[in-house]
Amino acid sequence: MTSNVPRNELGEFLKRRRAELSPRTVGLPETRAPRRVAGLRREEVAQLAAISTDYYTRLEQGRMQASAPVLDALARVLHLDDDQRAYLFQLAGKTAGRTRRRGRQKVQPQLQRVLDDLTSTPAIVQGRRGDILAWNALAAALVTDFSRIPEKHRNYPRIQFTDPAMRTLYADWEASAQISVAQLRMEAAKYPEDPRLIELVGELSMRDKQFAQWWGEHRVAARTVGTKTLNHPVVGELVLDWDTLTANTDPDQHLTVWTAVPGSPTHERLRILASWAADQNLSASPSTS
């Protein structure tokens, strides 16, 4: 009997807190449709925390206990301060250890030097979650001007799902986007408590039904090699092979390069694209060396 009291108080605390937050506060798009409840809906909190709505509902109703990783995710979604987070864990009967926060990644110097030398080959360096850590000018011309994207949103899967231009750039956008989701799934298995990954998955699940569907299919993929066809607005069709090189000094950093068969139409169009990029003053990411 007494064991149910803390869980009921936990549920009341969660309900009060989500009622205080608006969709805009947590990065969700506002809609004109009337909302039956103040603040966030249960399903919105659940999706942002990357858990099922049924799980979250049972938690609010005091019918189950939450694990520490779930409590961490809820603390982030509900924007709890340190005292509120400690109180949340206390109500759940868990020890509130320090939140493990990884510092923002910076491109490894070795990869940066390789990137600086690649002037005729598009290339980017990706970190955890597909964050874009560095790029060369030709990659900016090929995909998008990454420098115009705020650093916190400079993430390849996020760009694929939120930039409408990506859906026309990729000849088979769905296949490419599904690979990105599968790669994120692999990341989630490796770092299940990564707060930025949880936040990214929650945001994209709310913004895009296809992402939510594919995430639910639990397919996984590693960053390896492949071929993509792009419909570039300046130079037309490009058939590119892509390959991934992993840094031994940081296995969470990957250099992805796009190449074309010498003498092929794509090879010539890359040269034209490089010239166009120079005329447009598109630049590489700032060198850290």
What is the residue-averaged pLDDT of the chain? 87
Contact 63/11 with Cβ under 8 angstroms?
A: no
| % of the chain beyond a pLDDT of 90 | 45
Lowest mean pLDDT among 25-29, 164-168, 275-279: 25-29
Backbone angles phi, psi at 222, to 5 degrees: -95, 160
Q: What's the pLDDT score for residue 110?
A: 81
Q: How many CB atoms within 10 Å of residue 143?
A: 23
| % of the chain beyond a pLDDT of 70 | 90
Q: What is the largest CA-CA distance in the chain?
A: 77
Q: How many angstroms separate the Cα of 231 from the Cα of each of 173, 274, 278?
A: 11, 16, 20
Pairing of β 132-135 and β 123-126: antiparallel
Per-residue pLDDT at 98 exceeds 60: no
Per-residue pLDDT at 26 exceeds 90: no
Using DSSP's 3-state secondary structure scheme, residue 222 falls into coil
Q: What's the pLDDT score for residue 109?
A: 84
Q: What's the pLDDT score for residue 241?
A: 96
Contact 47/206 with Cβ under 8 angstroms?
A: yes
Q: What's the pLDDT score for residue 44?
A: 87
Q: For the chain, what is the total number of helices (H) and then of strands (E)?
A: 13, 5
- Cα(53)–Cα(46) distance, integer angstroms: 5
pLDDT tens, 44-95? 888 888 889 999 999 988 888 888 888 988 988 888 887 788 888 888 888 7
Name the nearest CA neighbour of 176 among 185, 166, 186.
Answer: 166
- Cα(201)–Cα(141) distance, integer angstroms: 27
Residue 256 CB partners (closer than 8 Å, separation 6+): 123, 124, 125, 126, 223, 242, 243, 244, 245
pLDDT tens, 183-194? 998 888 788 778
Average pLDDT over residues 186-211: 87
- Cα(147)–Cα(169) distance, integer angstroms: 19
Burial class (CB in 10 A: 0-12, 13-18, 19+), 156: buried
Q: What's the pLDDT score for residue 3?
A: 43
Lowest mean pLDDT among 141-150, 179-188, 235-244, 280-289: 280-289
Q: What's the pLDDT score for residue 9?
A: 85
Q: Give the single-character DSSP code of 201.
A: H
Residues of the chain by 3-state class (helix, strand, coil), percent to 5: 50, 15, 35
Per-residue pLDDT at 113 exceeds 50: yes
Higher per-residue confidence, 176 vs 26: 176
